[in-house]
Amino acid sequence: MTDSVATSLDISRLSTQDADFDARLEALLAWEGVSDAEVQSRVEEILRGVRERGDAALVEYTNRFDRLSAKGMDELTLGAERLRQAFEGLPVEQREALAAAAERVRVYHEHQKPGSWQYTESDGTVLGQQVTALDRAGIYVPGGKAAYPSSVLMNAIPAHVAGVREIVMVVPTPDGILNELVLAAAHLAGVDWVFTLGGAQAVAALAYGTETVPRVDKIVGPGNIYVATAKRAVFGQVGIDMIAGPSEILVISDGATDPDWLAMDLFSQAEHDEDAQAIFVSWDAEHVAAVEEAMSRLLPTMEREPIIRDSLAGRGALITCRDRDEAVALINRIAPEHLELSLADPEALLPEIRHAGAIFMGRYTAEALGDYCAGPNHVLPTSGTARFSSPLGVYDFQKRSSIIQCSADGASVLGRTASVLARGESLTAHARSAEYRIKD
Amino acid sequence: MTDSVATSLDISRLSTQDADFDARLEALLAWEGVSDAEVQSRVEEILRGVRERGDAALVEYTNRFDRLSAKGMDELTLGAERLRQAFEGLPVEQREALAAAAERVRVYHEHQKPGSWQYTESDGTVLGQQVTALDRAGIYVPGGKAAYPSSVLMNAIPAHVAGVREIVMVVPTPDGILNELVLAAAHLAGVDWVFTLGGAQAVAALAYGTETVPRVDKIVGPGNIYVATAKRAVFGQVGIDMIAGPSEILVISDGATDPDWLAMDLFSQAEHDEDAQAIFVSWDAEHVAAVEEAMSRLLPTMEREPIIRDSLAGRGALITCRDRDEAVALINRIAPEHLELSLADPEALLPEIRHAGAIFMGRYTAEALGDYCAGPNHVLPTSGTARFSSPLGVYDFQKRSSIIQCSADGASVLGRTASVLARGESLTAHARSAEYRIKD
């Protein structure tokens, strides 16, 4: 269990009993998606350009960054009919798998719909909240190698279930390459419009609106550093979801899961990109060694071996801990995006888990099942942000209005309290407004 | 109803039938809380200082900006005992009013607690969400003239109801001035620690932690442009609530509410500060004139007359519209923070209202009652952000973890779908991880 053991697998090996465990874990977890001053100023220029010149700027930036030669926004716009064609053109196996996944995601998210509520007090005063959907949502879908149809489903279906009136999707098409699966997923998920735009210019179009692109109320979906910087800048003008870091998984095993299964679960995270993080934890040292052996043996058979190798070397870890309690403490400290509890009795641990994006329970629940089709959302808080944020959900596409309806009697009683407090804050118009409603 | 009528009241008068109505309304609503490059760079320097030098930087910045001469953080720290003393030292009338308000706010927010949920599919697969509270929340309370005890209740009580383990409050004390009502409210609301810090340095302390100030998971509460800029910068490191603009109200009346009441309701918004916005709308032109007369007559009697006058002149408006439908369209276009429906039948309008922070229904429901003690939160989305965001609530201090527990049968079926989709995305480790769970 130390780095000095010669092995073909380049990955950090830690034990919670090591003197430098805390520091090494901290260093492994450290991640900052900082945009430097140069990125900042380029993004600001693009935002300003789109805001001031609308479609003309959009076409210009898109031609430059995506190496296209569009003459106008009509060449960068795809309507509902084009999306339907993409769906119908898919091989039947893919079409059915996509439809099955979409249906499961839809059913799960239907369970998330919060309702409006109210209650009436004894004097007739009514209090509550009215829940309504956003008018228009914007979905950012990365293009190129990271264009995932599953992400289209995961971002657009909750908006659709929430009752959003119009869903606008943007996806860049570098060198004109269009992903038919992505368009097919947009069709299934209820997307109304697709614009083949990306980067900060796509974010600007959604935030401010142009002659062609309608302004949206919220922008969701992952993107590169330009997209993340632009989202942070327009936050307030429009709503945004979390700014996503690289994807990560923490796998906990009690020693009884097939090491090959665990190795592949770790690889499925590591294959995303070089920054992705896969961490394995067990209190069974022999099991940790067996998982390591499986990883070494299976790695050369992987299609994306170079990416997995880089990811494991840079950010992966095999951690041996003392017992279950230490494993729980590690979970809550890391607040992982994906948590796999490969245990006989995962339910027993659940009440102790305070921070995790998604919890995959038991030996059969591979993260990959959740990524595609189990039903829950695969857009999850990364880099420890599960401490304060949630999976993307229907609630992200709804908002609430407080309802206050005072009866004459209720207003009279509340008026007295409000008057005292308002005068304590020297806000006398508040006080006098309340006092008008006090009965003599 | 035109600007040419001589009057003692300086306020915009608009009619929806004016040719330039849209443009004038747009100009009135325009608000951008932009921080310029100078503010940006000063904030970044402060954030870096606190991050690198902790308490020492905190004491240094606080002494400089708040004109203090503290020697260490112990002089800038107030514990639970000090807060209790503040509460017990209040005049009995204020103590009782504060306690009554706190109790009503608590009861209302108890209704907001979402529960964990799960469902079991026919093959035994379990799906759901587990709701948990944040470990630690930070409440920013402005100091000086805008130090409002009611804001302490409104920010801290939802955190307390949510089950947050530790609530840390920061409030600047410029020139050493401490507001006993604010400390008393902190005691009532369940605040654990108060640090007398403000500005970007307080935000930095909460976001990164120092030797004395514990790092929190989310920062809520309003502040000046330095606070807002710092919150935007640390977003991602920690959660933040919305970045608040000036407060605003839209009052709709059917013509039967006492014009004096309506004038005072508008003043109660305008008295906050010069940027606050009060807009009155009715389809009864004579009623609009009567409200204007009441405003002219009452304005000289107001303690905060100069602020109200500036606010009305700069951002206020009296709008005459054609009918109820036009009033509803105006509501949804403005998406007001506060909406007062001073109507005989406000319930009839409710289903048509898509965007509003809080809706005050009927003639008795003055906004001031909601500001202090009706129960709902007074921290509300401003500047049209009710299009996509909600009142501060218990849900802001909780987060969700997805629960996925596949049965062996469930995993086998899902594995097939996941395998097809993963191979469509060229993620073969995902596919093989899913395929291990397919039964032969």
Q: To the nearest whole angstrom, how far is the Cα of B44 from the nearest Cα of chain A?
A: 12
Nearest-Cα distance to chain B for A8, in Å, is 19
Give the CA angle between residues B11, B16, B20 to the nearest 5°.
75
- Contact yes or no for A405 and B362 at CB 8 A: yes
d(CA A434, CA A424) in angstroms, rounded, equals: 14
The pLDDT of A420-429, averaged and rounded, is: 92
Burial state string for A15-53 with b = 16 or more CB within 10 A and e = fewer than 16: ebebeeeeebbeebbeeebebeeebeebbeebbebbbee
Provide the whole-model pTM. 0.94
Q: Please report, rounded to a whole number, the percentage of residues in chain B having pLDDT higher than 90.
A: 87
- Establish if A288 touches chain B: CB-CB under 8 angstroms: no
CATH (residue range B12-31+245-374) = 3.40.50.1980
User: Is A81 an 8 Å CB contact of chain B?
Assistant: no
What is the distance between the alpha carbons of residues A321 and A252, in angstroms, rounded to a whole number? 10
pLDDT digits (tens, 9 = 90+) for A196-245: 999 999 999 999 999 999 999 999 998 888 999 999 889 888 999 987 78
CA–CA distance, B399 with B403 (Å, rounded to integer): 13
| A287 assigned ligand-binding residue | no
Residue-wise pLDDT tens digits, A64-108: 999 999 999 999 999 999 999 999 999 999 999 999 999 999 999
% of chain B at pLDDT higher than 70: 97
Q: Is B304 on the interface with A (CB under 8 A)?
A: yes
- pLDDT given for residue B34 in this prediction: 64
Q: Do B429 and A243 touch (CB under 8 A)?
A: no
Judged by a CB distance cut-off of 8 A, whether residue A141 touches chain B is no
Greatest distance between any 2 Cα atoms in chain A: 88
Note the pLDDT of residue A245.
Answer: 83
Tens of pLDDT, residue by residue over B314-371, are: 999 999 999 999 999 999 999 999 999 999 999 999 999 999 999 999 999 999 999 9
Q: Answer whether residue B99 shows pLDDT above 70.
A: yes
B26: nearest Cα among B408, B404, B330: B330
B12-31+245-374 with B37-114+133-240: one CATH topology? yes
Nearest CA in chain B to A267: B429
B118-171 residue pLDDT tens: 999 999 999 999 999 999 999 999 887 667 899 999 999 999 999 999 999 999
> Which residues have C-beta within 8 Å of that of residue B6, sequence separation ≥ 6?
none
**Considering A248, A337, A340, A367, which one is annotated as catalytic?**
A337
CA distance B440 to B435: 10
Asked if A26 is an active-site residue, the reply is no
Catalytic residue, from B337, B340, B367, B378: name it: B337
Question: Position of tokens 């039903």?
Answer: A375
CB atoms within 10 A of CB A310: 17
Locate B3 and state its tokens: 């600007």
Tell me the residue type at A409. Answer: D
pLDDT range class, residue A34, cuts 50, 70, 90: low
Q: How many CB pairs under 8 A join A and B?
A: 381
Pick A113 or A198 by higher pLDDT. A198
Q: Does A139 contact chain B (CB < 8 Å)?
A: no
Using the Cβ of A414 and the Cβ atoms of chain B, whether some distance falls under 8 Å is answered with yes
- How far is the C-alpha of A103 from the C-alpha of A184, rounded, in Å? 14
On the question of pLDDT at B282 being above 70, the answer is yes
The predicted-structure confidence for A267-312, as pLDDT tens digits, reads as follows: 999 999 999 999 999 999 999 999 999 999 999 999 999 999 999 9
| CATH 3.40.640.10 given to domain A37-114+133-240 | no
Q: Is-contact A54 A210, C-beta < 8 A? A: yes
Check CB contact under 8 Å for A399 and B411: no
Q: What distances in angstroms separate CA B341 from CA B255, B280, B365, one per listed residue?
A: 11, 11, 9
Q: Would the pLDDT of A163 be above 70?
A: yes
- Count Cβ atoms below 10 Å from residue B325 Cβ, excluding itself: 11
Is the ipTM higher than 0.90? The answer is yes
Nearest to B417 among A97, A135, A355 (CB): A97
Given pLDDT bands bounded at 50, 70 and 90, which one contains residue B63? very high
Q: Which residues pair with A402 in a beta bridge?
A: A129, B358
Chain A: closest CA distance from residue B16 (Å):
23
Whether B332 and A394 have beta carbons less than 8 Å apart is answered as no
Strands (E), B188-256: 193-195, 218-220, 239-240, 248-253
Residues of A in contact with B111 (CB under 8 A): 117, 119, 127-128
Please indicate if any CB of chain A lies within 8 Å of the CB of B165.
Answer: no
Neighbours of A242 (CB within 10 A): 24
Instruction: Supply the mean pLDDT for chain A.
Output: 94
Contact of A196 with A204, CB cutoff 8 Å = no
| Of A218, A265, A377, Cβ closest to residue B433 | A265
The reply to whether A430 sits in an annotated binding site is yes
Confidence of residue A38 (pLDDT cuts 50, 70, 90): confident
Per-state percent for chain A, helix, strand, coil, to nearest 5: 50, 15, 35
Is B207 within 8 Å of chain A by CB? no
Name A281's bridge partners.
A252, A319
The tokens of B95 are what?
Answer: 């103590």
> A400: distance to nearest CA of chain B, Å?
5
Look at residue A35 in the predicted model and tell me its pLDDT.
65
The reported pLDDT for the residue numbered A117 is 95
Check CB contact of A201 with chain B, cutoff 8 Å.
no
Confidence of residue B35 (pLDDT cuts 50, 70, 90): low
Kindly list the residues from chain B whose CB atom is less than 8 angstroms away from the CB atom of residue A347. 405
Closest CB to A304: pick one of B354, B421, B428.
B428
Q: Is the dihedral of CA B53, B55, B58, B63 positive or negative?
A: negative
The CA distances from residue A103 to A355, B334, B413, in Å, are 28, 36, 14
Q: How far is A163 from chain B (nearest CA, A)?
A: 12
Tell me the per-residue pLDDT of A120-158, one tens digit each, with 9 for 90 and over: 999 999 999 999 999 999 999 988 766 789 999 999 999
Domain borders along chain A are: 12-31+245-374, 37-114+133-240, 406-435
Tell me the one-letter amino acid at B108.
Answer: Y
Note the pLDDT tens digit of each residue in B201-250.
Answer: 999 999 999 999 999 999 999 888 899 999 988 988 899 998 778 899 99
Res. A49: pLDDT tops 80: yes
Chain B residues touching A416 at Cβ < 8 A: 97
Sign, CA torsion A207/A208/A209/A213: negative
Q: Which of A268, A401, A431 has its CB closest to that of B429?
A: A268
Residue B2 has pLDDT above 50, yes or no: no
Choice among A338, A340, A367, A378 that is catalytic = A338
Contact A404 B181 (CB under 8 A): no
Mapped onto helix, strand or coil, the DSSP state of residue A137 is: strand
pLDDT above 70 covers a percentage of chain A that reads 97
Q: Which two tokens stand for residue B62?
A: 């606080």
- Identify the closest residue of chain A to B148 by CA–CA distance: A425
Q: Are strands A77-78 and A193-195 parallel, antiparallel or unpaired?
A: antiparallel
Distance from CA of A25 to the nearest CA of B (A): 18
B187 assigned to active site: no
Cα–Cα distances (Å) from A328 to A324, A352, B127, in that order, read 6, 7, 21
Answer yes or no: is pLDDT of A338 > 90.
yes
Closest chain A residue to B355 measured between Cα atoms? A401
Average pLDDT of chain B, as a whole number: 94
To the nearest 10°, the Cα dihedral for A385, A386, A391, A395? -90
